[in-house]
Amino acid sequence: MQTEHQKPVLVTGATGYVAGRLIPLLLASGYSVRAMGRSMTKIMGRPWGHDPNVKCVTGDIMDVASLRKAADGCGTIYYLVHSMMSQKGQYRHADRIGAKNMVQAAAEAHADHLIYLGGLGDIHHKNVSKHLVSRNEVGQILLDGPVPATVLRAAMILGSGSASFEILRYLAERLPVMVTPKWVRMSTQPIAITNVLGYLKGCMEHPETRGKTFDIGGPEVVTYRDLFRIFTKEAGLPTPLMIPVPVLTPRLSSLWIHLVTPVPAAIAQPLTEGLSLPTVCTESTITQLIPQNLINCREAIHRALDRIQQEQVDTCWTDAGAIKYPEWAHFGDSAYSGGTILKCGYRATVEGTGRNLWPAIVRLGGETGYYAANLLWKLRGVIDVFAGGVGLNRGRRSKETLQVGDALDFWRVLEVEKPSKLLLLAEMKTPGEALLEITVTPLGNDQCELVLLSRFLPKGLNGLLYWYVLYPFHQYVFAHMLKGIVKSAGLTLATLPERFTPKITKTCSLPDQ
């Protein structure tokens, strides 16, 4: 019979910001891990995805059967899932259902321990946010269940890639003068991601934490104004002039954050709502149960900036969520019964191999740009931001590498097959769904064919108009992108780029209703 320590540890939300860092920590400590997420491809694409001590499983908190299967035989379960990104305004209802499903699955799987990371703050405060109330409700549901649970409550997490840190970073870097709400003077007790992980792991190793709630924080209580000053000093930037005004509501603040930072308004608003009340630890019991060196704000920010500079951001807030692989993407050149698939494709023969060409392909976007018409790409990004999309603000995690699930400007990486294929899904605001595919096919004699294919499934008349209005720009951009990729790789073209798709695509018949 397995002892508790020998049982696998289930980590839900495996590709999320916290879970994606907790898993390698557990592996390094000798634990066997079961990593659960909604996309197997995305999980397997993580650096630890093929570790012999990891079993990757698919599961969804809205599907109790999948949770039961994932939890079967596990001892400790880390519940690190939050529906805010996927459910938008309905996240509170979704979180309640998810928590109840997790309690049921954990009980039926005879798990020993549930561990949850929630939010810090007084839920009875007049300015309490729906986001904080939701986090508190989830924690209480877990505590009320038959499986012993531990709830940790944290304020702002300081670490490279966290949504809160990205907001702090981009505002400080891009705005020398800030018109800010009064919450910049609110007290908070941030905690470094390293310390969060230390407490999460420690709770599993200390049975006395079961059935309890703990506040976790760093060694300092500061204001958000203080955080901006500390950040700019560590980043070598001038301290921004902050002018507090009483009229900036969380809604207006979130829209401003959406315009200036990579964090969209749908995510920024729940976060900014939580800035209007103190987020300070009311007790410190856990510091005696799980002692560790608590990192102060200056050191945490220094470490985060150092990780960003070295391109060693292990996880990012953009990692969360399922990959929505379009059904029609599998049909290739064949007819699709769901509607019209519009295409614009260019190809060229290159003097060189795919391995010579791949480094330039995989550097696409971010600071590198798109090798042609970068002004048009930037204009499209600005339009997308004002339309409520993410624009080009997200950039990319690394300049040199891509993995499945990565955010790349306003794209999402669906497939990476070195050195032959890169498939991107558009996450910009469009009246339809769009894919951008770059493929390399060897031809022999140290030559290869480079193909760039854009496919678009329009929604209604607006989608058709969108495609045909932009089609002349697509022709110019894609032909010159091929040239730019080849030039960046230090290779030469054997043939000039040619379009191989028709200007007009026949409409596929819709299925009978």
What integer pLDDT is reported at residue 1 of this predicted model?
35
Nearest residue to 290 via CA among 221, 196, 220, 219: 196
Per-residue 3-state assignment (H helix, E strand, C coil) for 151-198:
EEEECCEECCCCHHHHHHHHHHHHCCEEEECHHHHCEECCEEHHHHHH
What integer pLDDT is reported at residue 89 of this predicted model?
54
Q: Is the pLDDT of residue 9 over 90?
A: yes
Instruction: Return d(Cα 82, Cα 453) in angstroms, integer.
Output: 35
**Can you give the pTM of this predicted structure?**
0.79
Strand pairing partners for 456?
Answer: 342, 434
| Residue 227 · residue 165 · CB < 8 Å | no
What integer pLDDT is reported at residue 41 of this predicted model?
81
Instruction: Return d(Cα 203, Cα 214) in angstroms, integer.
Output: 10
Instruction: Return d(Cα 278, Cα 188) in angstroms, integer.
Output: 6
| Residue 427 · residue 390 · CB < 8 Å | yes
Q: Is the pLDDT of residue 100 over 80?
A: yes
State the average pLDDT over residues 165-179.
83
Q: Is the pLDDT of residue 510 over 50?
A: no
Q: Is the pLDDT of residue 456 over 70?
A: yes
Q: Is the pLDDT of residue 323 over 70?
A: no
Least confident of 80-84, 314-318, 384-388, 467-471: 314-318
- Check residues 320 and 402 and name the one with the higher pLDDT: 402
Give the model confidence (pLDDT) of 437-447 as tens digits: 999 999 988 99
Q: Is the pLDDT of residue 5 over 60?
A: no
Q: Is the pLDDT of residue 185 over 90?
A: no
CA 330 to chain centre: 25
Phi, psi dihedral angles at 134 (to 5 degrees): -65, -45
Instruction: Return d(Cα 41, Cα 35) in angstroms, integer.
Output: 12
Q: Is the pLDDT of residue 3 over 50?
A: no
% of the chain exceeding 70 in pLDDT: 88
Instruction: Return d(Cα 246, Cα 128) in angstroms, integer.
Output: 18
Name the fold adopted by 327-499: Alpha-D-Glucose-1,6-Bisphosphate; Chain A, domain 4 (3.30.530)
Give the model's confidence band at 338: pLDDT under 50 very low, under 70 low, under 90 confident, else very high: low
Instruction: Return d(Cα 463, Cα 433) in angstroms, integer.
Output: 9
Tell me: cis bond preceding 419? Omega within 30 of 0 counts.
yes
Least confident of 29-43, 180-194, 313-327: 313-327
Nearest residue to 103 via CA among 148, 55, 154: 148
| Residue 283 · residue 151 · CB < 8 Å | no
Give the model's confidence band at 67: pLDDT under 50 very low, under 70 low, under 90 confident, else very high: very high
Q: Is the pLDDT of residue 426 over 70?
A: yes
Give the model confidence (pLDDT) of 374-418 as tens digits: 999 999 999 988 888 888 888 888 888 888 888 899 999 999 999
- Check residues 45 and 22 and name the one with the higher pLDDT: 22
Q: Where are the beta strands (DSSP E) in 400-470?
A: 407-408, 411-417, 421-426, 432-444, 447-458
Pairing mode, strands 33-37 and 54-58: parallel
What integer pLDDT is reported at residue 83 of this predicted model?
64
Residue spans per domain, the chain: 9-277+284-319, 327-499
| Residue 33 · residue 23 · CB < 8 Å | yes
Name the CATH superfamily housing domain 9-277+284-319: NAD(P)-binding Rossmann-like Domain (3.40.50.720)
CB-neighbour burial class of residue 282 (10 A; exposed 0-12, middle 13-18, buried 19+): exposed
Instruction: Return d(Cα 325, Cα 171) in angstroms, integer.
Output: 33
What integer pLDDT is reported at residue 87 of this predicted model?
46
Identify the DSSP state of 419: T
Q: Look up residue 382 and give its two tokens.
A: 């600005």
Instruction: Return d(Cα 156, Cα 226) in angstroms, integer.
Output: 13
Q: Where are the beta strands (DSSP E) in 44-84?
A: 54-58, 76-79
Q: Look up residue 380 and give its two tokens.
A: 């499209």
Q: Is the pLDDT of residue 129 over 90?
A: no
Task: Return the number of other C-beta atoms located less than 10 Å from residue 115's C-beta.
Answer: 26
State the average pLDDT over residues 360-372.
93
Identify the DSSP state of 313: -
State the average pLDDT over residues 242-255.
71
- Check residues 248 and 419 and name the one with the higher pLDDT: 419
Identify the DSSP state of 57: E
Return the ∠ at Cα 41 (arms to 35 and 43), rounded to 5°.
Answer: 25
CB-neighbour burial class of residue 110 (10 A; exposed 0-12, middle 13-18, buried 19+): middle
Tokens 């001038």 map to which residue?
238
Instruction: Return d(Cα 313, Cα 399) in angstroms, integer.
Output: 12
Mean pLDDT (the chain) is 87
What integer pLDDT is reported at residue 504 of this predicted model?
59
What integer pLDDT is reported at residue 333 of this predicted model?
46
